[in-house]
Structure 1
Amino acid sequence: MATLCRPAVAVPEHVITLDQTLALARSLHADHPRLPLALRLIENTGVRTRHLVQPIEEILRHPGFEARNRVYEAEAKRHVPHVVHRALAEAELTARDIDLIVYVSCTGFMMPSLTAWLINQLGFRPGTRQLPIAQLGCAGGGSAINRAHDFCTAYPGANALIVACEFCSLCYQPTDLGVGTLLSNGLFGDAVAAAVVRGSGGTGIRLEANASHLVPDTEGWIAYSVRSTGFHFLLDKRVPGTMEPLAPVLAELADRHGWDASDLDFYLVHAGGPRILDDLGSYLGVPPEAFRFSRATLTEYGNIASAVVLDALARFFDEGGAAEHAKGIIAGFGPGITAEMSLGRWTAPAGSPTRARAGARTAGGPGIGRQRAAQDAALAGPAR
């Protein structure tokens, strides 16, 4: 079975805090009739800091879609190689060992995809397959894991590289003044991430099953309106309630596999906002602590779109993983409304440092094992 190895995650160097976000909203939208509601919603997201690919002054200027897309391409080429190299090292592979690159991004556009540049610049074989995914938004991270799993199942022994590149700040639109948009301006952050799915061997989550689900007649709830000024984000007020139809789907997937979704060892899910996590926990019957990795991502980085599930997974690794064969679920939610879900078991070769940490955590309670500062510095280089 395919194994999802430790991800590498990096964020840009420009930081905006919650207090700065609220102050900007008060300054820019002082006359907005629903400003108090927007401010309250932003505060309730739980986001405390976000990282931006440009200084906030540059983002607020909005020089136009063409200029922004140039920034997207340049910054992708600056940041992505760091996480790719680290992800390959974590999987104990080289670029020549990779058979498929799945590139996920919904915040900029390139053709050919960045996959072509990566193959040319980072030493991947010319025969490496390319799978760019754009229109699944925040569900893209889960989809990338599932498509990599499918590929490694179809081609036993093959290896896949997942890359998520999300610069959500480049989608800021100063003329969009709906409450949902104002909330989004305080919710989304920028990040890049990469992870390898090994067809054999490796430490991480041994993927066993995956599934997709589209909630009927919800395609307008999360969407882009593509205009001359770029991507205009549309967010329906019904989105926070989407766990009511989706939680049973996750439970059904687990049940088909002979598992109980309310009694798993780990949960790595997309953190669209605190209510998503609260509702999912309530419907599945699991405590809030079960989603601590996703909540930490939301607090420290904001909603980083398709990179959320990879960052939550990295935090899971930082804590030491779990006991051998521990069962868990990974899920990403996005436009459609779409859920991309996978089930897997933790596996670590005997004698590996990760397995030793997991054993210590199991014996002595939750461990800290946090190495974010050192890891971030190693991953991001000049981008941190």
Structure 2
Amino acid sequence: MATLCRPAVAVPEHVITLDQTLALARTLHAGHPQLPLALRLIENTGVLKRHLVRPIEEVLHHEGFEARNRVYEAEAKRRVPHVVQRALADAELAAPDIDLIVYVSCTGFMMPSLTAWLINTLGFRPDTRQLPIAQLGCAAGGSAVNRAHDFCTAYPGANALIVACEFCSLCYQPTDLGVGTLLSNGLFGDAVAAAVVRGTGGTGIRLEANASHLVPGTEDWIAYSVRETGFHFLLDKRVPGTMEPLAPVLAELAGRHGWDASDLDFYLVHAGGPRILDDLGTFLGVQPDAFRFSRATLTEYGNIASAVVLDALARFFDEGGAADRAKGLIAGFGPGITAEMSLGRWTAPAAAGPAGAAGTAGTARAAGIGRQRSADPALLGPAR
């Protein structure tokens, strides 16, 4: 079975705090009739800070879709290689060992995909398969895990690399004044993440099953309106209530596998907002602490779209993982409304010790790779 290894995650160097976000909203939208509601919603997200690829002054200046997309491409090429190299090192593999690259992003557009550039630049084989996913939004992190799992199941012994690159700040639209948009302006952050799914060996989550589910009639609840000025984010007020129909789907997946979704050892889910986590805990019957990794991502980085699941997984690794064969759930939620879900067990080679605290990831850390800050902190900002 395929093993999802330790992710590498990096956030940009420019930071905006909750207090700065609230002050900006008061200044930019002083006469907005629903400003008090928007401020209250932003405060209730629990997001204390976010990281941006550009200083806030540049984010607020909209120079056009073409210019923003140039920034997206340049920043992706600048930042993605570092996390890819760290993820490969943590999995104890090299670029030629990778058979598939799954690249997920919904905040910029490139054709050819960045996968082609990565293959040409970082030493991947010319026959490496490419799977860019651009339209699943926040659910794409879970989808990437599932498609990598499917590939490694179809081709036993193959290895897949997952890359998530989300620069949500490049989608800021100063003329969009709906409450949902104002909330989003205080919720989303930027990040880059990568992880390897090994066909054999490795320390991490041994993937056992996956599934997808779309809630009927909800395709316009989370959406982009694509206009001359770029991507305009649309968020329906009914979105926070989507865990009521989705929690039973998660429970059913676990049940088909012979597991009880309310009694797993770890939960790594997309943190779209605090209510998502609260409701999921209520409907699954698990304690709030079960989602501590996702809550930490939300607090420190905001909603980093498809990278959330990988960052939550990185925090799980940082805590030492779990006991061997501990059971867990991975889930991403996004436009559709779509859920991408997987089940797996914690696994580590015998050399890794009882809780997998060492092993392949430990070897990488000992070599000075793992979670250490990049040699050029001005380039990447804080790294996990």
TM-score, shorter chain, exceeding 0.5? yes
Matching residue of 2:364: none
Residue 83 (structure 1) aligns with: 83
Q: Find out whether 1:336 has 2:336 as its counterpart.
A: yes
Partner of 1:134: 134
Contact 1:45 1:187 in 2 (8 A): yes
- Conserved in 2, the CA contact under 8 Å of 1:79 and 1:380? no
| Equivalent residue letter for 1:138 | C
The 5 Å alignment of 1:304-383 reads 304-352=304-352, 355=355, 357=357, 375-377=372-374, 382-383=379-380
CA gap of 1:381–1:89, structure 2 versus 1, over 3 A, is farther
> Which residue type is aligned with residue 203 of structure 1?
T
8 Å contact 1:82–1:380 — kept in the other structure?
no
Distance in 1 between residues matched to 2:5 and 2:376, nearest whole Å: 16
1:211-248 alpha-carbon deviations (Å, 9 max, x no partner): 00000000000000000000000000000000000000
Q: In the alignment, which residue of structure 2 is the partner of 1:162?
A: 162
Cα contact 2:203–2:356 (8 A) shared by 1: no
Task: Trace 1:255-334 onto structure 2 (pairs within 5 A).
Answer: 255-334=255-334
Counterpart of 1:165, as a letter, is C
Q: How does 1:152-301 map to 2 (within 5 A)?
A: 152-301=152-301
How many angstroms does 1:352 deviate by? 1.8
Which residue does 2:56 correspond to in 1?
A: 56
Matches within 5 A, 1:101-120: 101-120=101-120
Q: Provide the alpha-carbon RMSD of the alignment.
A: 1.7
Question: Does the 8 Å contact 1:100/1:131 carry over to 2?
Answer: yes
- Between the aligned partners of 1:272 and 1:265, the Cα distance in structure 2 is 22
Please give the alpha-carbon distance, in whole angstroms, between the structure 1 residues aligned to 2:371 and 2:109. 31
In the TM superposition, what is the alpha-carbon distance from 1:92 to its structure 2 partner? 0.3
Kindly report which structure 2 residues correspond to 1:18-97, keeping only aligned pairs within 5 A, or say none.
18-97=18-97
1:171-195 Cα distance to aligned partner (Å, 9 max, x none): 0000000000000000000000000
Shift of the 151–374 alpha-carbon distance from structure 1 to 2, 3 Å rule, reads closer
Match for 1:267: what amino acid? Y
Q: Quote how far apart the aligned CAs of 1:357 are.
A: 3.4
SS in 2 for 1:33: coil
1:312 is displaced (CA, Å) by 0.1
Count of aligned residue pairs for this structure pair = 373
Query: Kindly tell me: are residues 235 and 68 of structure 1, through their superposed partners in 2, closer, same or farther at Cα, counting changes over 3 Å?
Result: same
Whole-angstrom distance in 2 between the partners of 1:313 and 1:251: 21
Shift of the alpha carbon at 1:375? 2.9
Change (3 A) 1:195 1:272: same
CA distance in 2, matches of 1:159, 1:354: 25
- Does structure 2 conserve the Cα–Cα contact (< 8 Å) formed by 1:11 and 1:380? no
Equivalent position amino acid for 2:153 in 1: T
Give the Cα separation in 1 of the matches to 2:191 and 2:319. Answer: 21
CA distance in 1, matches of 2:277, 2:184: 17
* SS in structure 1 at match of 2:350: coil
SS state of the match for residue 213, structure 1?
Answer: strand
* Residues 209 and 344, structure 2, Cα contact 8 Å, conserved in 1: yes
Identity %: 87
Residue 378 (structure 1) shift: 5.6
In 2, Cα distance between the equivalents of 1:376 and 1:179?
37
**3-state DSSP class of the match of 1:375?**
coil
Structure 1 segments unaligned to the other structure (5+ residues)? 359-370
Question: Deviation digits for residues 127-186 of structure 1, max 9, x if unmatched?
Answer: 000000010000000000000000000000000000000000000000000000000000
Rounded to whole Å, the distance in 2 between the matches of 1:333 and 1:242 is: 9
Kept in 1: contact 2:101–2:115 (CA 8 A): yes
8 Å Cα contact 1:10/1:376 also seen in 2:
no
Q: Is the partner of 2:343 in helix, strand or coil?
A: strand
User: TM-score, normalization: structure 1?
Assistant: 0.95
Instruction: State the partner residue of 2:362.
Output: none
d(CA) in 1 for partners of 2:242, 2:356: 39
CA contact (8 A) 1:157 1:199 kept: yes
Does the 8 Å contact 1:10/1:380 carry over to 2? no
Structure 2 letter corresponding to 1:117: W
Distance 1:131 1:378 in 2: 30
Aligned residue identity for 2:85: H
Give the conservation status (yes or no) of the 8 Å contact 2:180–2:237.
yes
Q: Deviations over 1:265-292 (max 9, x none)?
A: 0000000000000000000000000000
Deviation at 1:298, TM superposition (A): 0.1
Give distance in 2, aligned partners of 1:132 and 1:116.
Answer: 10
Q: In the aligned structure 2, how far is the partner of 1:379 from the partner of 1:85?
A: 14
